[in-house]
């Protein structure tokens, strides 16, 4: 249906959003209203460069006085793209005026009807914004990359699932273990991870596995159970974040200090919320954003993929 009309029924009772629609990763890196800005769809996430492997020089005094070996360090350029997030909404005049109708029966309640939604247009606008938020959270974790080569190609930002390539451990379909986590942490350390603000991000099943791996519950006559929120490792302390939009068979270890939304503002605004032109007896609007994920150097993150999911 293009817009909300009287066929979309009103009901009595408290209003609840049902489902796992939280956005913890998005919230942790700045949310829907804060982050960095760019004036281009393509933007840099890192300019990586490396040193040669450490070694002991063997330079004689004579050699040092006559010549020197020149060395150049080259830089790379890792990029990502912003993409369009857009949601429209519309409500007929008839629907806006009949919030006293409950179910299929026109029950007139005067100025204080039992329907908790008094402003259908505001409700639909709020729902559109929440939908964009969960779409962003999912995309920043699992999004696949596609540059917008022209106006008919959708730009798609690269999420962590497709950004992390240097530090990764394959689980091979078995349940997550401490050995896998230790192997990943060692690989990250050997490849120069900076351990800024580390977070282990996982789905519901792997969250329970992690608690079982690290739990220690002192004896108590009245309290039972554990909920691991932070893990002490040889290289860092890392928090544990459950996000329903994580892949079911993976965990990420993320340096949150280098992650941020990257907005491409429109006339100085990172989010456009506006009414659309009226053509008939309904009001409509849209929410429009251009945003991608700046994940910094992918070498600062790590992943374990292919874990058991049950």
Q: Provide the residue-wise pLDDT of the chain in tens; the chain has 310 residues.
A: 478 888 887 777 777 778 878 999 999 999 988 899 999 999 999 998 989 889 999 999 999 999 998 999 999 999 999 999 999 999 999 999 988 777 745 455 554 556 788 899 999 999 999 999 999 999 999 999 999 999 999 999 999 999 999 999 999 999 999 999 999 999 999 999 999 999 999 999 999 999 999 998 778 888 888 999 999 999 999 999 999 999 999 999 999 999 999 999 999 999 999 999 988 999 999 999 999 999 999 999 999 999 999 9
Q: What is the per-residue pLDDT for 36?
A: 94
CA distance 23 to 115: 28
Residue 72 lies in a domain: no
Residue 53 lies in a domain: no
Q: How far is CA 46 from CA 163, 207, 225, in A?
A: 12, 30, 42
Tell me the pTM. Answer: 0.90
- Record the tokens describing residue 260, joined without a space: 């941020």
Q: Which domain holds residue 199?
A: 24-47+77-91+120-217+226-305
CA distance 50 to 46: 13
Q: CA 76: distance to chain centroid?
A: 25
Q: What is the per-residue pLDDT for 9?
A: 79
Residue 278 lies in a domain: yes
Number of domain units in the chain:
1
Q: What is the per-residue pLDDT for 183?
A: 98
Residue 3 lies in a domain: no
Residue 70 lies in a domain: no
Residue 11 lies in a domain: no
Cβ(291)–Cβ(270) below 8 Å? yes
Which one, of 288, 309, 115, 106, lies nearest residue 204 by Cα?
309
User: Could you tell me the sign of the dihedral formed by the alpha carbons of 174, 178, 183, 185, in that order?
Assistant: positive
Q: What is the DSSP letter of 236?
A: -
Residue 265 lies in a domain: yes
Residue 247 lies in a domain: yes
């Amino acid at each position: 249906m293009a817009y909300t009309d009287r066929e979309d029924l009103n009901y009595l009772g408290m209003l609840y959003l049902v489902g796992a629609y939280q956005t913890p990763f998005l919230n942790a890196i700045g949310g829907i209203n804060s982050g960095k800005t760019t004036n281009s769809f393509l933007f840099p996430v890192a300019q990586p460069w490396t040193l040669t492997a450490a070694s002991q020089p063997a330079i004689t005094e004579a050699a040092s006085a006559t010549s020197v070996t020149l060395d150049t360090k080259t830089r790379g350029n890792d990029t990502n793209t912003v993409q369009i997030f857009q949601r429209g909404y519309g409500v007929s005049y008839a629907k806006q005026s009949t919030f006293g109708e409950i179910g299929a029966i026109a029950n007139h309640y005067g100025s204080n009807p039992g329907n908790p939604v008094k402003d259908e247009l505001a409700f639909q606008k709020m729902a559109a914004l929440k939908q964009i938020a969960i779409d962003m959270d999912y995309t920043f974790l699992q999004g696949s990359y596609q540059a917008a080569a022209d106006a008919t190609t959708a730009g798609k930002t690269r999420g962590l699932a497709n950004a992390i390539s240097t530090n990764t451990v394959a689980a091979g379909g078995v349940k997550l273990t401490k050995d896998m986590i230790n192997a990943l942490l060692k690989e990250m350390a050997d490849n120069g991870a900076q351990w800024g603000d580390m977070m282990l991000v996982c789905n519901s099943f792997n969250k329970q596995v992690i608690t079982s791996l690290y739990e220690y519950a002192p004896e108590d006559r009245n309290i039972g159970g554990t909920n691991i929120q932070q893990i002490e490792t040889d290289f860092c302390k890392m928090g544990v974040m459950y996000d329903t939009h994580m892949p079911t068979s993976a965990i990420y270890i993320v340096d949150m200090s280098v992650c941020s939304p990257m907005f491409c503002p429109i006339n100085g605004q990172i989010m456009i919320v506006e009414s659309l032109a009226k053509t008939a007896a309904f009001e409509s609007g849209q929410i429009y954003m251009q945003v991608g994920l700046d994940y910094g150097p992918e070498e600062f993150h790590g992943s374990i993929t292919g874990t058991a999911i049950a």
